[in-house]
Amino acid sequence: MRIQIDLQLCQGHGVCVEEAPEVFRVVSAPGRYDHAELIVAEPDESLRKQVEAAVKFCPNRSLKIVD
Ligand code: SF4
């Protein structure tokens, strides 16, 4: 599974981390909003439900499953 994070939209709320802590983390970015980052480049299919929840509940609609 491949995931895109739109860093123009992401503001580091961390909802994605709450939904899928094995997949996302929030990192600091001096001079701009904190933002999400993938812990694993291509998460295993077993994590799809959690990733779908992260996509659904991201308040900025920054996440997309692309594959
Ligand atoms: S929930 Fe959305 S806006 Fe918040 S850190 Fe995750 S991707 Fe970024």
Q: How far apart are CA 12 and CA 46, in angstroms?
A: 25
Domain region containing 43: 3-65
Please give the share of the chain, as a percent, with pLDDT higher than 70: 100
Please give the share of the chain, as a percent, with pLDDT higher than 90: 88
Q: How far apart are CA 3 and CA 8, in angstroms?
A: 15
pLDDT of residue 10: 96
Atom of ligand 1 nearest to the CA of 36: 5
pLDDT of residue 12: 95
pLDDT of residue 29: 82
Q: Which of 58, 61, 64 to mutate to test the pocket of ligand 1 (most atoms within 8 A of CB)?
A: 58
Could you give the number of structural domains in the chain? 1
- What CATH number is attached to the domain comprising 16? 3.30.70.20
Whole-structure pTM value: 0.93
Parts of the chain with a pLDDT under 50: none
Q: Which is nearest to 51 in space by CA: 12, 10, 23, 26?
A: 23
